[in-house]
Amino acid sequence: MGYPPRGRADYLKPGTWNADCSMCGRKRKADEMVQNWMGLYRCPEHDEIRQPQDFVRGVQDVITVPWSQPTLSEYVQICTFNGQSAVCGYSIAGCMIAGRSVISYDETIPAGG
């Protein structure tokens, strides 16, 4: 008996060759092997089906409203007396006058009177 010893696939079969299983490593004839879903060749008893969850597709969620219309009211900025002051928390952007630090605590009473 020579070295290495002969295995179950060590015989002549025209048109095929010896190949190793990608899972167990056993030697078989190439025409007995099967190709799995990843493209690897394996013994028929080691062949596995692809996981069905690989083919699941989600349902697209439509998050838009069916119809809409533009708002009819517009925001109009009004410069008030306190909005014209340079005091933080009272001033309004675009209305502030630099250096003015007088504020009125009651907007119904005009300043100075």
Inform me whether the pLDDT recorded for 106 exceeds 70: no
Res. 113 pLDDT band, cuts 50 70 90: very low
Q: Give the chain's radius of gyration (CA, Å).
A: 42
Tell how strand 18-20 and strand 27-29 pair up: antiparallel
Inform me whether the pLDDT recorded for 63 exceeds 80: yes
Distance between CA atoms of 57 and 59, rounded to whole angstroms? 7
Give backbone dihedrals phi and psi of 49, rounded to 5 degrees, phi first. Answer: -80, 160
Residue 20 DSSP label: E
Res. 99 pLDDT band, cuts 50 70 90: confident
pTM of the model: 0.47
Res. 39 pLDDT band, cuts 50 70 90: very high
Inform me whether the pLDDT recorded for 110 exceeds 60: no
pLDDT at 40: 93
Q: Which of 21-35, 69-83, 94-108 has the highest mean pLDDT?
A: 21-35
Least confident of 8-22, 35-49, 62-76: 62-76
Distance between CA atoms of 80 and 92, rounded to whole angstroms? 8
87 within 8 A of 102, measured Cβ to Cβ: no
Residue type, 47: D
